[in-house]
Every structure is written in structure tokens, then in C-alpha cells.
A and B are shown apart, each in its own frame.
Chain A
Amino acid sequence: MGASSSTESNLMAGLQRNLSKIVVAPSFAASLFFVYGFILWTAWMAFSKSRMMPVYDWAGLRQYERLWQMERWHVAIENLLIFGGLFIVICLFLGCLLAVLLDQRIRAEGVLRTIFLYPMALSFIVTGTVWKWILNPGLGLEKMMHDLGWASFKFDWLVNSDFAIYTVVIAAVWQASGFVMAMFLAALRGVDQDIIRAAYMDGASLPRIYFGIIIPSIRPVFLSAIVVLAHLAVKSFDLVIALTGGGPGYSSDLPATFMYTMAFQRNQLGISAASAMMMLATVMAIIVPYLYSELRGGKKNG
């Protein structure tokens, strides 16, 4: 009896010890397979001759060559640069400005903070759809201005192929700047109030205090915000789909919508996979140095 109960208790103890590992194992396996497995599979596809259906014969860099010859891919890349650049810069600027204003200990701060942060809680689809209505010349802002008697008002960016990408910027900024604000506000609140008082007594004006002392001293937050915004920009997909559908024509295509179109509408699985790998490389180029510096920084501090 002693022997059997001791093996049983050994088993239980082993189970106890490894319980967390056992619980995590399925999701770990799933993410290993569905995320990293499919990354590898996509990488393989990009070197294959796949068109409509996946095939596994080696084609070398052929798909990448075809990708970089496509006018549409160039439009998507150019759009990404415009969109990403403006999105990041405007979000940082607005987020920072809002945070500084909210940092003045105004009365309605709690309410305002929530209002600014709410857009982040929405899905990009919702944001896209709402902004599609607002920016639609026949429905939204333009019509409202006309109804109010401002007949010459014109705001047709949504349907103008030269400007459609900027509407994506507007919607994305609306969604993400509150989040950036929250990041900055947290950092500003972490700044010792005595520093502000000291600078004040030194005779510095409020803008000088912020731009000369406080904002430079929260530089790490800028880096974090840029990384978050940059990867949001690169993977932007649903917003474009909901807002412009990549149109007019393919004038507001981004790499992600390009990839989707190639894979599921144009039967160009290989090109699609190649474009996906280009995006992965871009994100890695942003994230890896960041993580590296974070981890190294952590070690230095620890």
C-alpha cells in the first residue's frame, strides 16, 4: 500500500510542479504552429512558383523580382512612407501636446483623458467606417457645410486619388493619438514636481520648462511610442479596407492591403508571400534593435 500511494503522491507532486507549464503548453504549441509555423510557410511560398494555389517548387527570387516590378507595389510602399511618416509625427506631436495640456492639473482631467483614450478601444473597422461617413462628400462634413450655407466648401479627399491616403492618416491619428497621450502623460507624471518648481524659480517660462527640461528627460518614452506607432503603421490593414478599400483604384493601397489583394483576389500567392516577407523584414528592422536596446538597458540597470 505504501509503495502505490507514494507513486501516486509523486505523480501529484509532479503535476503540481508542472501545472503552469501544462496549462500553457497548448497555447504555446498553437502559437508556435500558427504564428511561427506560418511565417516559415510564407517564407517558403515567397520562394515558390505559387500562383492561385500553393505549390512547392523552388523559384528562387523570382517572386521578389516580380513584386518590385509592379507599379502597384511601389504605390503601396510610397503610401506607407507617407502614411507612416505623417501618422507617427502627427501622433507624437498631438499626443505630446495633449499630455502637456492635461498635465496642468485641470479640473476635468479624468473625463478628458477617457475621451481622448476611447478611440483606441474601438476596432479599426469601426473607425474606418465612421470616418468614411464623415469624409464622404455627399454625406458628411462637406454636405453639412453646404447645408449650413457654405456652398463653396469642398473636402473630397476620400474620393480623390491624390489625397485618399491622407484620409487614412486622419482616421489613424484620431484613433492612436489618445494612446500616445496616455503614454506621455504617465511619463510626465513620473517627473519630479520639484524639478518644475526649481526651473520656475530659475526663471524659466513654462514652454521652456517643458521643451528644455521635461520632454528631453522623458526621451525613452518617445522611442517606445515611435516603435508602437511604426508597427501599427506597417501592419495597417483593416482601417484602409474600411475607409477607402485601397481606392480610388489602388491609390491608397498599403503593403498589407496589397498583400491581401494579391493573395485572395489576384491569385498571386507568391507575390503576396514576398510582400508579406518584406513587411516582416520592415517590422523586424524596427523592433529588433529596440528590444535589443531595452534588454541591454534592463541588464545595465539591474
Chain B
Amino acid sequence: MASLTLDKVRKTFGSVEVLKEINLAIEDGEFLVLVGPSGCGKSTLLNLIAGLETSSDGEIRIGDRVINNVHPKDRNIAMVFQSYALYPNMTVRKNITFGLEIRGVASSERDKAVDDVARLLQIENLLDRKPSQLSGGQRQRVAMGRALVRNPDIFLFDEPLSNLDAKLRVDMRTEIKKLHHRLGATIVYVTHDQIEAMTLASRIAVMKGGILQQFDTPQRIYENPNNMFVAGFIGSPSMNFIDARLIEDNGRIAVTFENNGQNVVLPLQNNSPESYRSWIGKDVVFGIRPEALTHKRTGSDQPDSQYVNFDAKVEVIEPTGADTMTVINLGGKEIVARVRPDRATNPGEMMTFSADMNQISLFDPKSELRI
């Protein structure tokens, strides 16, 4: 009933095209996260859905209803803003009920609605304060309360957590996720933080420069990024890219690149896509995530193992506790490998690494698209 569809939506400001043909569709109850670097048009897209901006072209539908020309207040959408946008002259209670009051909801009903929402968000004791007397986290809750109380079809969040400190951000993130489970509401959530996107979303839309790069579930985006931008943007530390060449080696397709005057050859899995064949003899970008690049694993000596070993000199180590990020120089690039702390060595020493060839991506160096 509250599914959301964006059909060839475009937005221009003057002669600048800020959004280029965005196609998105989510089901009722989905949690869509729009993620991308700042300035890529996420807020603009959200404003189009909210009705704060009008689209230059294309169709926006909630359920079967085209809402392009529907006034924001009639779209039954509520929005939580990055700056919270609480009404500074009103108490928390008034802030929450303002929208209901304008819609002509009876005062007894309003009181009940506020109480319900306040209990849900644990802000009962703040109801008579002014926004200026609240902390950032409390303001955030009030802003969410203001959205919740209206019981909208769709919730919009524009970077709601980016003004909070790191600890609170993680807590609120969990809370938003719980809230989503509890309410089953349809949510569109904007962030530039890929961790937020991965943890919250049922589906992620990655954007860059007004163009939708990829729209998929978090796991699929992580494992099969459409292009080098998505691959580098999602995941932390981000994916390593090595300029390499695809060759045929003893009947197996392999990537090869030069390292310290030696050729490193990493044979691909036998179940690699057929499309790789047409790239044999051509330059590719070899992408591998840090966690697929670790210390030497057991069984990695067997000939058809998914793990391929190679030696490299450790440049820098960055212990994080759980893992030690080991920086090595590979193919002229700084590459990060994720090593178990007890297997890490000191900078300057040689070490044997294993690459998990099941978790690799190949990209076209020109178009930067996935092969």
C-alpha cells in the first residue's frame, strides 16, 4: 500500500542537471538507503519525494497514486531533517502535535498520540521542555517523534545521525532499525556513511553525480559492485584496486601484474564467468577486498584451492584489535590486507599472503564497469 516508485525522475536547477533519470522501486515496508558522497543529489531526491521540490521530468508514485502534483501535506509523508528542524519557540509537546493540530485532530486524540510516541521514544520527561534545553540525541528523538506521530505512509530521513557523536550515532542507528521492525513502515533514508547504509538498508541505492550507480540489496552490492565507484565506496577499509592483465595460464584464466620486477600470477576459479574469456590478453583492474587478502590459510597449497598464495613485504601495520590492517605494496599500489593479529608481522618483513579468489572483482579500466 505504501510502495514507492520513481520512474525516470530528473531534476534540473537552471541548466544544471542534478538528477539524471532515476529509476527506483521499493515495496511496502522496505528500508531504502540512498548513499553517496555529498553533493550527489541525495537530498534533492528526497525533497522530490517529500514534495519540497518538483521534479523536472518523470513520475513519482506512492502505491498506484502519482504524487508529482500533490501538495506535501497531502502525500502522507513525514520527514526527519539533519538539523532536526524543531520549532524553537514551541515545547517538545507542541512540536510533536503541531502537524496534528493543523490537520484538525481533536485535542484528546493529540494528547494520546503524543503519549504513545513519547513512550516509544522514551522522551516522556522532556515533553515540556523547549528544543534549546535538549541535547543533540534528545532533539533527534523529538524530531523522530514528530514524524512518527503523524503515522505516515513513508518516512524520509535526511542524514539524521550525522550531527551526533560516534557512540550516540551507533545507538540511534540500532534504535532506528528496531523502530523499523516494530512499525513495518516504509523508509527512505539518506546518508553519506556506507556503514549506516549497510547496517540499516533492505535495499541500497548508491548515487554519484546525480546518477544512480547501483540499486540492490546490501549484500549483493557488497559482493557484486556494478563499477569501481560502488566497489570503492561501499566497505571499509575500501576495496583494493590493482592494475593487472588477464592471461591464460595452463588452461586457467589468471590475473597477472608486476611486483618488484617479478610477475605475480593469480589463477581465477574455474567457475569464473564466461565473459572473462573475451578479456584475455587485455588490461583489467583487479579488485579485492581487504578481508579476502589475509595471512596464509590452511589448504591453500592444494592446486585447485580458492586461496592463492604470494609473498610481499609489509610496509605498515595498523592494529584495530580484532584484525591487523597490513599495508603492502603490490603492483605499485598500496594494498591493505586484513590479517589475524597473531599472524601479523612487523613492517619491513616478508610475509606470505593468501588471496581468496572467490571474492574478487574485475573491472574495465576505461569504463570502470564490472566485467
Contacts and interface: CB of A to CB of B under 8 A. Distances in A.
Interface of A: 192, 194-195, 197-204, 208, 213, 216-217, 219
A195 B85 contact: yes
Contacts of B72: 200-201, 203
Contacts of B84: 194
Interface in B53-108: 72-73, 77-79, 81-90, 98-99, 102-103
A203 B73 CA distance: 5
A199 B81 contact: no
Contacts, number: 59
A272 to B, nearest CB: 46
A217 B89 contact: yes
B201 interface: no
Contact of B87 (A200, A203, A213): A213
A202 B99 contact: yes
Given A204-B98, A216-B89, A217-B88, A198 B103 contact: no
A225 to B, nearest CB: 18
Interface range, B side: 20 to 34
B50 interface: yes
A213 B89 contact: yes
B168 interface: no
Contacts of B83: 192, 194
B73 A194 contact: no
A194 B83 CA distance: 7
Contacts of B102: 202-204, 208
B81 A197 contact: yes
Nearest to B87: A213
Contacts of B150: 202
Nearest to B90: A213
B50 A199 contact: no
Nearest to B102: A203
Given A201-B52, A202-B73, A195 B103 contact: no
B207 to A, nearest CB: 21
Given A194-B81, A194-B83, A200 B52 contact: yes
Nearest to B100: A202
Contacts of A213: 87-90
Contact of A198 (B77, B85, B89): B85
Contacts of A201: 50-52, 72-73, 77-79, 99
Contacts of B87: 195, 198-199, 213, 217
Nearest to B72: A201
- Going nearest first, the 4 A-B pairs with the smallest beta carbon separation are A203-B73, A202-B99, A194-B85, A216-B89
30 contacts: A194-B81, A194-B82, A194-B83, A197-B50, A197-B81, A197-B85, A198-B81, A198-B86, A198-B146, A199-B98, A200-B72, A200-B73, A201-B50, A201-B52, A201-B72, A201-B78, A201-B79, A202-B73, A202-B98, A202-B99, A202-B102, A202-B146, A203-B72, A203-B103, A204-B98, A204-B102, A216-B89, A217-B87, A217-B88, A219-B89
Nearest to A213: B87
Contacts of A198: 79, 81, 85-87, 146
A279 B246 CA distance: 92
A202 B51 CA distance: 12
A289 to B, nearest CB: 22
Contacts of B85: 192, 194-195, 197-198
Contacts of B79: 197-198, 201
A202 B73 CA distance: 6
Contacts of A217: 87-89
A195 B98 contact: no
Nearest to B98: A202
A203 B149 CA distance: 14
A216 B88 CA distance: 9
B131 to A, nearest CB: 10
Interface string B143-175: 000100010000000000000000000000000
B103 to A, nearest CB: 6
Nearest to B75: A201
